[in-house]
Amino acid sequence: MNRIANLFETKKNGILSVYFTAGYPALNDTASILKELEARGIDMAEIGIPFSDPMADGPVIQEAATQALRNGMSLRVLFQQLKDIRKEVRIPLIFMGYLNPIMQFGFENFCKKCTEIGIDGMIIPDLPFADYMADYKDIADRYDLKMILLIT
């Protein structure tokens, strides 16, 4: 069972999920932040994928993403940093990022890599629901990745 589904099945109230930007404040902080969040009792972590044009983010996340990109963060670096994360971190992990970098990586390739390193779900705020249903849902389902949709 997917770790997100398992969390919501076993813990009905008081679930705490924390967002942070991968590669911030320093490039190699991502894995250590995840370990510390779990050690502090966080139930689930949302790992922000930095993007150069974060149109829906506020100034704090924009600045963190800008600094993470300056630090050298990319999807390839992020996947490399997290390749062994499941040896130490058991909480559900969610990637949150914009569609453009994911499409540059290739959506199916992105999903495959997520599964390989133990990512449980995705939040892609600029992916329209109709496009998700028509073009991406079957791929995400094939890799048992939960898509968390935002409604505006």
Catalytic residues: 46, 57
H helix intervals, the chain = 3-10, 30-39, 59-71, 75-81, 99-105, 107-117, 129-131, 137-142
Q: Which residues, listed in sequence order, are joined to residue 94 by a DSSP beta bridge?
A: 46, 121
152 Cβ neighbours under 8 A, 6+ residues apart: none
CA 140 to chain centre: 13
- At which residue do the structure tokens 């999903």 appear? 111
